[in-house]
Amino acid sequence: MLISVTFSKPSTEVENLLGKAYKKIRIKTNSSSIGQSFFAEFFTETQAFHKTFSETELNDFITQHAGTTFKNCVQRFDDKEITILANNKGKISKIVRKISLNQISQESSNSKSHNAKNSKYFSNQDDSNFRSQFANGTIPQPTNHNRIKNYIIAEGTPVPFLISLGVMTPDGKVVNSRYDKFKQINRFLEYINDILPSVMELKKSESHPLQIADFGCGKSYLTFAVHYFLTQIKKIDCNIVGLDLKKDVIEHCNKLAKDFGCEGLIFKTGNIAEYSDSEPEHNPDIVITLHACDTATDFALKYAVEKKAKAILSVPCCQHEINQQLEKNKKEIAESEASVLAPVLKHGLLRERTAALITDALRADYLERWGYKVDVMEFIDMSHTPKNILLRCVRKPNAKDLPDGKPELLNFLKISPAIYQ
C-alpha cells in the first residue's frame, strides 16, 4: 500500500506545467477520509497549497511528473521504497529498496561502498556510467524517511524545561503524546533563526539585550524554548516577557524560570488588549504569538506595530470576529456588490473558513501598510495542527510611521475587524 510520495528537484518547466514555481510536493495517505485518498502539499518559496488526490489521480500524477517535472520522486510503500531519479542529461533510473515498517536500517549517505551496494537496485543496469556516478556520490541518493530529523533542540539530549513541562523524559526521549508539541517548538525556533540576522542588523546601533514579548504564552513551552535557543545555543543576551490571563499558570512559569536560572525571563498576568509595558525599559524587538485566541492576535499585532517591533512571528488561533460580522450583516451584504459571494456565504462551514482566510489576509495587509515585509507561510504540517498559518514579518528600515488608508475589502464585505479599529 502506498503511504507517501515526495517530489523534489524541480525542472525549469515546473511553472509552465503546474502553474506555479513549486519547489517540493509532499503527499501522504489521508487517514481521515473514507476510502483511499491522499493529501498533498505543494510548496513554493514562500507559500503552501493543498490538494486532495484519489488513488487513480495520484498514480496519473506520478506517471506524468516523476523524473520529468521533478527530477527526484520518492514513493514510500509499506514494504518498499521506490526512488525515481533523473540525471542532468534526462536519463531516468529507478531504485527499489525493500523496507520493513518495524525496522528500517539506518544508511550512511556518505559511504561509497554502501552506495555501490545500492546500485544493484537500478532497473536500468546497463547504464554503467550512471551507476558509477551514483556509487561515487555524485548523484543524489534516495531519501531515507526514517532518518533522524536535525531539530534545533535535539532529540536524545535532556533539556530541563522540556522535562519539567512533560515533553521529554529524564533521559531526553520525546514523550510520544507530546511529539507534535516538540515539532511545533522546533519549527517555531527555525523561524526565529530565520529572522535573527535581520533583527540584529536593525538593532546594531543599540547596546541593550534583545527584547522579546510572547503574548498568550500559556504554559510557555515556546517562551522557554526561545530563551534556551537564544541564550544556550546562539549565545545572545535577551530579555523575554511572557503574558497570559491565567494567574496560576504564570506563577508556575515564574517558579520554573527561577528554578532553571533563566536570567531575563519573566512572566506576567494580563490581557493582551490592555497590556502596558510601562515597566520594561526598552520596546520589544520581536513580538511572538502562538495560537492567541481570536482578536487577541490582533491586539498583539497592533501592539507590535505601535512599539515598532523589528520583527513579528504570529500563528493565529480560532477566528470568530469576521465570521460573526458576515452572519450579522448577511442581509445587507445580499443587497450589495458582495452578493456575488452568496454561494460561499450562505453555507456556515464555508463562510467560517472564508472568514478565517480573510482575517489573516487583512492582518497581513495591515502589517504591510505599516512598513513590514510580510510572508504568509505554513507553520507546520496540518496533521500536527490545523492552525498552521504563520505570519513572518520584518520591519523595513524605511518603514512609514502612518499607514496608507484601509483596504476596500472592508467596505465591500461590510466588516470592521479589530486589526483596523
In CATH, what number is assigned to the domain containing residue 308? 3.40.50.150
User: How large is the average pLDDT for residues 278-296?
Assistant: 79
**pLDDT at position 149, please?**
62
Per-residue pLDDT of 101-117, as tens digits, reads 454 444 334 433 434 43
**Are residue 265 and residue 399 in the same domain, yes or no?**
yes
Domain C-terminal end among 79, 114, 135? 135
When pLDDT is cut at 50, 70 and 90, the band that residue 165 belongs to is confident
Question: Same domain, yes or no, for 112 and 221?
Answer: no
Whether residue 111 is found in the same domain as residue 184:
no
Q: Do residue 122 and residue 189 come from a single domain?
A: no
Determine the pLDDT at residue 33: 45
pLDDT digit string, tens, across residues 299-317: 899 999 999 999 999 988 7
Domain shared by 83 and 185, yes or no? no
| Residue 141 clears pLDDT 60, i.e. is over it | no
Q: Specify whether 187 is located in the same domain as 67.
A: no
Question: Which among 77, 107, 135 is the end of a domain?
Answer: 135
For residue 414, the model assigns a pLDDT of: 87
Instruction: Please say if the pLDDT value at position 384 is more than 80.
Output: no
Q: Is residue 160 part of a domain?
A: no
Domain limits for position 13: 2-135
What is the average per-residue pLDDT within 8-20?
89
Domain-located, residue 141: no
Q: Is the pLDDT of residue 142 over 90?
A: no
Same domain, 198 and 343: yes
Task: Evaluate whether residue 58 is within a structural domain.
Answer: yes
What pTM, to 2 d.p., does this model score? 0.64
142 located within any domain: no
Residue 98 sits in the same domain as residue 217: no
pLDDT greater than 50 at residue 219:
yes
Give the mean model confidence (pLDDT) for residues 229-243: 93
Q: Is residue 162 in some structural domain?
A: no
Query: 414 Cβ partners below 8 Å, 6+ apart?
Result: 325, 329, 332, 333, 336, 338
Indicate whether 326 and 414 sit together in one domain: yes
Residue 18: inside a domain, yes or no? yes
Residue 150 inside a domain? The answer is no
167-206 pLDDT, tens digit per residue, is 999 989 999 888 888 988 998 999 999 999 999 999 988 9
| Phi, psi at 289, each rounded to 5° | -140, 130
Write down which residue in 78, 107, 135 finishes a domain: 135
Q: What is the domain count for the chain? A: 2
Query: What are 249-271's pLDDT values in tens digits?
Result: 999 999 999 998 999 999 999 88
Q: List, for residues 44-73, the tens digit of each pLDDT value.
A: 888 888 888 888 889 889 998 999 999 999
191 shares its domain with 329: yes
For residue 159, is it within any domain? no
Q: Are residues 259 and 321 in the same domain?
A: yes
Same domain membership, residue 189 and residue 123: no
CA 329, chain centre distance (Å): 34
